[in-house]
Each structure stands twice: as structure tokens, then as C-alpha cells.
Structure 1
Amino acid sequence: MKRFFDFMEKHFVPIAAKIGAQRHLVAIRDGFVGIMPLILAGSIAVLLNQTVFKWIPAFSGLTAINGNVWWGTFAVMSLLIAFSVGYNLAKGYGSDALAAGLVSVGAFLVVTPQSHGDAGWGYIHWGYLNATGLFTAIIVAIIATEIFVRLLNKNIIIKMPDNVPPSVGRAFAAVIPGLIAIYVFGILAFLINKLGGNSLYDLILNLIQKPLQGFSQGVLSVMFFSMLINFFWFFGLHGANIMDPIMNALYLPALEANASAIQQGLQAPNVVTRVFFDAYIHLGGSGATLALILAIFIASKRRKDYRTVAKLGAPAGIFQINEPIIFGLPIVLNPILFIPFIIVPGVLTLIAYSATASGLVPPTYVVMPWTTPVGIGGFLATGGDIRGGLLALVNFAVAVMIYLPFVILADKMASGESTVK
């Protein structure tokens, strides 16, 4: 085991750390974080229409209010992410972030189909702007921003006199780089159309996004992703941050598709969404470490260090924050806790997936803050369905049972050190 850890620390950790700090992945991660308030607003709008406004007849006439909120948030998610990713990528370069974000939006609209059904040219259907276009928005924003930033750095700009206000100078400096970046996509969209393709948007959607999303809904892939997050954490790397760009790109569209379907009175099409993990898997944080805390309170008698850290980490763990446990216990490079920390998310994923796919529990479709306590998150994520909360509690109990034998083992092997080497 020691040889394995030494090998991973030497070869795996540096590579994973570089991936986690990669500029474009950081921009995607921060881009999703940036639009999260709007996603929460849209999710709350769907939740209210499906619960309070449906249950209380006096409110039924006000559902249009939530429909308007949904329209300005969920329904244009890709447009929002195009700006946010472009903005954050340019910010990472120390360049003009606002201009890059606007150029990214323009480039995304350039490649978006301009007609829908019988409507004439110049009509953009919201179905192109929601999470269906998420991959297109991300790819276009990254390429457009790269073109924009590189041209700025090469001083291919319109220079204004020094006495011109800085804001005006920046606006004129962005003209040529922005013009070229947008025209690149205009020409590309034209060529694809002339060569027989429908649009760049459709190519990315059909060749990249749909296959990846189909793969991501398989139970084995969901288990793999949930366990991989913990694998990064075990070596001291922020697994959630490293995996966020991938998880959001794959599972936010699934969430939006579920919310849109339910908003229209249809069956939710996806078993797993982005909120599925926070509601049923990350119970107390990655690895369901709140369950580990309870297992320590139940079974650890000799490890005073474990009990002390558990007491200190419990308040944060209730709100899904587990760094005190991961680094204080520690779980990082702890050979005794390696097995349960890795297998717990896999087992919980399998249980939650089976319960949702079988119809025992309704699909998740409502975004709630990731700090929502265990049980409450499952309840809210399923639109106020008690079965979602009960599933989270069942998973929590299972996690406690998995951790217990290893806590007992650590207790028996107690020595003067906090971890067994």
C-alpha cells in the first residue's frame, strides 16, 4: 500500500494538480459558478410553480411570474455561460474580460441557427439558448476569447490618444480583435452550411454533446465520476473543483431538461442531474463524511484525536463542508480510510440511481445550494417530494454502516499517532 501511495504522489498528483489549474478548465468552472445565482432563481421558479402555486388555488393565476423568471434564467443558460466563460478566461489572461465576454456572446449567436420551424430567418428559438447549446457555448467562448486575447496581446488594435478616457480607449482597442473573432465564426458557419451541414451548433450538439450526455447517464459512468472525485480528494487535491467543469457540462443540461419537462407537465427524461450528487451522494461533503463523523461518535473509543476532530468538524459537516475532516482527521493518505472513502460514493450512487430509475423516487430537477443539509436537499431537489428526503437518509445510514468497520479497525490499531502508517 505504501508503494502505491508513493507512486501516486510522485506521478499522479502533479499531473492532477496541473489539470486542476489548467486555465481553460478553471474558466469553465468559474463560468458555471458565475451564473449559479441565475440557475438557482430559475430552479426556484420551477419549484414554486410545481408546489405552492399548484397547491394553493389563489396563487394559480400568478404562475406566469415564475414563467418569466424561468425564461430569463434556465431558458437562456447557454447564452449566460458563453459570456461567463469568455469573461473568466480573459480575466485569467489579465485581459479585457468584459469585452471578451461580449465577443463570446456575439460569436455564439453567430453560429446559432437563425430559424425554427416555419419561422423566417432572424428568429432564434429559446431551445437553442437553453442547456442544449451548452457545449457549443463553451467551445465557442473559449476559441473566440483565445483569438481576441492573442490579437490584443499583439497590439493589433486601434490606438487612441492618451487624453482619451480609459473606458473609451479600451472599447476602441477591442474593435479589431472582436471583429476578427466574430468574423471567424461567421465564415465558419457559412462554410459548414454550404458544405451540406446544418450549422456548427448542430454539429457540436450531435457529434459531441449528445453522445457524451448519453454516456454520462449510464450507472457505471455515474459511479465512476462520483468515485473519481474522492480519489482526487484522497491525495489532497480538490476533487470537486477538478471535476466541476466536466460535471456541470454533462449534468446541468440534464437538470435543465428535467426542469423544462416538468414545467410543461411532461415526464422528466434524465435519471441523473447535477443536483443528484449533492442530494444523495455528497452527504456532508465528498465521501459522505458526515456519516464518518457519526461512525466515529458511535464506535471510536480509543482514538481521542478522531473524536476531537469529529466534534470540531460536525457543525461544518451538517452544511456539506468537510475540509476539517479530510485534512484534520486526516482522510488524505490515510490507508485505513482509503477503501470506505472510495467505495461509499459508488454504493450510494448505485442505490440512488436504482431508486430513481425504477420510479421509486422521482427524478431531481430543482437546484438547491450545495450547503443544504442531508435529507432536506433530497426533499427540495425532487420538488418537495418526501421520497427524495427519505432516499438521502437511507443513503446516509448505508454510509455509516460502511464506515463503521473501518473506524473500529482504526480504534483497535490506535497508537500514539493519529494515523496508522
Structure 2
Amino acid sequence: MANEKKLSHKLQRYAGKIQQNRYMSAISNGLMSTLPFLIVGAFSTLFSALAWEPYQNFIAPVKGIIGLASTMTTGVIALYAVFFIAYRLAQAFDKDPLVPAATALLSFLILTPVETFDKVRALPLQWLGAQGLFVAMFVGLIASRLYIWIVDRNWTIKMPEGVPPTVVKTFSGLIPAILVAVLFVVISGLFMQTSFVTVHEFIYTYLQVPLEGLGGSLGAMIIALIIMQALWMFGIHGAIVTLAIVKPIWMSLDLANLEAFQAGAPLPNIIGLAFWYIFANYAPMLGFALLLVFLAKSKQLRTIGKLGLPGTFFSIHEPLNFGIPVVLNPLLAVPFIASPIVCAVLGYFATTIGLLPAPIGIYPAFGTPIFALGFIEGSWRLAAAQLVLIPVCMLIYYPFFRILDRQALEREREAQENSEQEGTAGINAGAVTS
């Protein structure tokens, strides 16, 4: 037990460093801030691409207008991402975030090539959407941090007293914004002299594509799940820590699926954030909760199961994780780690052989009900798969649940016997006194 506590403290310390890292938090929170735009774009895509001929005939006159919402949200998601990542980083350094965020957006646009289409100069959507997401992350961090560094050295225009605060803020950000912009102009100019021509092409070719290939594999999903669940076993919120690292990769894979779905093309990716939500995030704990409610003989376990069951339909697992507890409970380590992995493997191979469709990549809002998520991701078959995985997880948990239930029942009987003995002793003591 002492060794377990020592290991738990070490893991909590390292996990805390990841969670508290300003740059990791800026990326994670910045991407989270794009959620409203992603949801608007996702539903726009869903409504415009629904494969039902009478419906398509009905919306034909306004299909372009419906699709416009998707183009201006998920289609240019890199613009929102660079702004919010820079914004969150500036907040982490206790700086007024608006100008650093706008400067980062300017820097991103400087790096984005302007192309000519039928004598019209325009920014290509190719680099403003999913393919520009990694550049957006780098630029958001670098531009915002550089802006903060310049401000901290007081390389700003000082205004005399009596000038309105709005004017002071405007001029104080002028020199930092200019210096940051000049740096990115130089970077863009240097890349124009290479075979890549743009930073976007370089980052996408040598970083984003390899990382997506690695992060989009079943092996990467399994490793992420092992780390995620193992951290939970030591009382650390495994999802927060792990997703801080893999979310950018999985989100870019989902966005590529969403763009392909909108274009009517085959979906390129199976693995992504949507895949994790559908297959690995709901069924394991929901199956365990059902065992507790309907098969537990222990009153304690049955009560905790009843309290925790409703939340598991909405991906809220903390009542079970800390109520049973799953945390620091070696007995439940095997099913807790194995069940989401089994679900992910089954979901992956069912998709590979064509039994299930790949998720279309809609970023699910936290608390989306389990079966609703399957329908939102494009198919009733995904919702049905979630239903099938629940008894699978119940079978995985069952042998360990029986031991847990028996141990809890024995503790309850011992507690009852001790209570009865204390009551009898009290009565006898009263009789002797009288």
C-alpha cells in the first residue's frame, strides 16, 4: 500500500505538470473554445449532406446557403484555433489577451499563401481548415508568447497621463504587434525561397501527416487508453491529461472526415476523437453500473450503482470512479483498463470490414447522451454498436464484480454482527446495573 501511494504521488505530480503547463493548456483550452463553431459547422454539414433523396430534392434551392455555415466554421477552423490558442496563452501569462490573439491571427494570415483563381486573388481554404490546424497551433503559441515577451521588456509606446485607457491599450500593443508581424513576414519570405514555398506545406508534409498517421492508428488509440485508464487508477483524471496530448491529432483527423463527408467523398480516417467518444468512453462504465444496480447483493454497491448509473449515459463517471472506488482498487484494474480497449478494437475492426461506418467527425459536446451520439456521428448503426458493447463490457467486468460484491457483502455482514453484538452488550450491561 505504501508503494502504491508513493507511485500515486509521483504520477499525480507528473500529471499535474502536464495539466498546469501553460502551452499544453493553451492548446487544449483554445481548441475547446472552437467547440461552438465546430458544432454549428457539423450540423450544417449533416443537414446539407443527409443521404435521403426526397430530403435532398427539398433543400436543393437552399443547399448552398446551408453549406455556407459549414464552410465558414469547420472549413476555416484554423483561423478560430490560432486566435483562441493565442488568447488562452496570453490569459495564462495574465496579459490582456485580445491584441496578442489578433496579432497571432495576423501572423497566421501572413504565412498563408494568396493564390489567384480566375484573376481573383484569394486565400485557399485548403490551409484555413483541417490541413492548417498544426500551423495554427504553432503560430498561436509563438506569436502570443513573443508578443508577451516584448511587452514584458517594456518595448511599448508610453502615453502621457490623461489619455483614455482604450487609446493607451491601442498604442501599447503597436510595437509588439509590428515586431511579431515583421518576424512572420521574414519567415514567410524565407520559405518562399525553398521547394516548399510555404510554411503550411512544410508543416503539413513533415509533421501533421506523420503525426496523423501515427495518432490515427489502432495502436496509438490502445496506448492512449492504457495511459488514460492507468492514470485514473491512481486518482488522476486520465482523460484530461491524455487528451491534452492527443486531442490536436484526433481533432485534425475528425475534421478531415467532416470535410470529406461534406464533399461526398469516402471518409479517410477511422480513429479520431469521435471514435474514442463512441466506442471507448460510454459502454465500459455504463455496463459496470448496470451490474451494480441489477446484480449486486451488497446494499452499498447497489446504492452507489443507482447514484452513478444516470451519469454514465452522459459520460459522467466520477461517482463510480470515486464511489466504489475504482481509484486505487487493484481488483478492478484489469476490467477498467481492458474494457475500453476491447470496445475500441471491436469498433475498429467492425469499421474496417464495413460492418460499421466511420464517424463523420462531429466534435461531440460534453454530456451528449450515449445513443444520440451514434446518430449524430452519421448512422443508426453506430448507436446500435454502442448498445451491443454494453453487454460486452458487462461480461468483462462480471468475474471481478462478483468478487467485489462478495467482499462488500461480507463487510456488511460483519458490520451488522458487530452492531448486534454491541447492542446485546449494551442491554446486558443495563440489566447488570439495574
* TM-score class, shorter: over 0.9
> Offset at 1:179?
1.1
In structure 2, give the amino acid aligned to 1:356.
T
Give the match for residue 378 of structure 1: 374
Give the match for residue 179 of structure 1: 178
Aligned pairs, how many? 409
User: With structure 1 as the length reference, what TM-score do the two structures score?
Assistant: 0.92
Measured against aligned partners, the alpha-carbon deviations of 1:35-78 in whole angstroms (never above 9, x if no partner) come to: 10100011001111222875423223221222110011010001
Measured against aligned partners, the alpha-carbon deviations of 1:217-268 in whole angstroms (never above 9, x if no partner) come to: 2111111112322222222222222223333211112112112112112111
Specify the SS of the correspondent of 1:360: coil
Matched, 1:209 2:208: yes
Measured against aligned partners, the alpha-carbon deviations of 1:367-409 in whole angstroms (never above 9, x if no partner) come to: 332322222211221x2x2211111111222111111111101
Measured against aligned partners, the alpha-carbon deviations of 1:53-105 in whole angstroms (never above 9, x if no partner) come to: 75423223221222110011010001110000000000111102011110111
In structure 1, give the amino acid aligned to 2:294.
I
> Offset at 1:115?
2.3
In structure 2, give the amino acid aligned to 1:282.
N
In structure 2, give the amino acid aligned to 1:404.
Y
Contact 2:82 2:139 in 1 (8 A): yes
Task: Write the mapping of 1:311-326 to structure 2, written as runs, cut at 5 A.
Answer: 311-326=306-321
Matched, 1:89 2:83: no
> Offset at 1:413?
2.2
Give the match for residue 101 of structure 2: 101
Q: 1:235 to 1:54 in 2, by over 3 A?
A: farther
Greater helix proportion: 2
Q: 1:189 to 1:4 in 2, by over 3 A?
A: farther
Q: Which has the larger radius of gyration?
A: 2
> Offset at 1:270?
0.7
Give the percent of matched residue pairs that are identical in Structure 1 and Structure 2: 29
Give the match for residue 364 of structure 2: 368
5+ residue gaps, structure 1: none
Give the match for residue 353 of structure 1: 348
Measured against aligned partners, the alpha-carbon deviations of 1:116-175 in whole angstroms (never above 9, x if no partner) come to: 7x6779521111100111111001110111100111111111111231221221111111
Say which is worse superposed, 290-299 or 51-60, in terms of deviation. 51-60
Specify the SS of the correspondent of 2:34: helix
Matched, 1:289 2:270: no
Contact 1:280 1:378 in 2 (8 A): no
**Moved >3 Å (runs of 4+):** 52-55, 118-122
**Alignment RMSD:** 1.9
Contact 1:53 1:60 in 2 (8 A): no
Give the match for residue 136 of structure 2: 137
Q: 1:156 to 1:121 in 2, by over 3 A?
A: farther
> Offset at 1:13?
2.2
Matched residues in 2 for 1:150 and 1:77: separation?
27
Matched residues in 2 for 1:148 and 1:121: separation?
33
> Offset at 1:178?
1.2
> Offset at 1:323?
1.4
Specify the SS of the correspondent of 1:375: helix
Specify the SS of the correspondent of 2:122: coil
Contact 1:53 1:63 in 2 (8 A): no
Task: Write the mapping of 1:25-64 to structure 2, written as runs, cut at 5 A.
Answer: 25-51=24-50, 54-56=53-55, 57-64=57-64
Q: 1:236 to 1:167 in 2, by over 3 A?
A: farther
Task: Write the mapping of 1:256-271 to structure 2, written as runs, cut at 5 A.
Answer: 256-271=255-270
Q: 1:396 to 1:370 in 2, by over 3 A?
A: farther
Matched residues in 1 for 2:264 and 2:157: separation?
53
Matched residues in 2 for 1:54 and 1:370: separation?
32
User: With structure 2 as the length reference, what TM-score do the two structures score?
Assistant: 0.89
Measured against aligned partners, the alpha-carbon deviations of 1:7-36 in whole angstroms (never above 9, x if no partner) come to: 421432211111111111111111111110
Matched residues in 2 for 1:59 and 1:114: separation?
33
> Offset at 1:207?
1.1
In structure 2, give the amino acid aligned to 1:326.
N
5+ residue gaps, structure 2: 413-434
> Offset at 1:113?
2.2
Task: Write the mapping of 1:293-312 to structure 2, written as runs, cut at 5 A.
Answer: 293-302=289-298, 304-312=299-307
Specify the SS of the correspondent of 2:286: helix
Specify the SS of the correspondent of 2:142: helix
Give the match for residue 415 of structure 2: none
Q: Which of 332, 335, 339 is residue 330 of structure 2 equivalent to?
A: 335
In structure 2, give the amino acid aligned to 1:327.
F
Q: 1:400 to 1:55 in 2, by over 3 A?
A: farther
Q: 1:55 to 1:93 in 2, by over 3 A?
A: farther
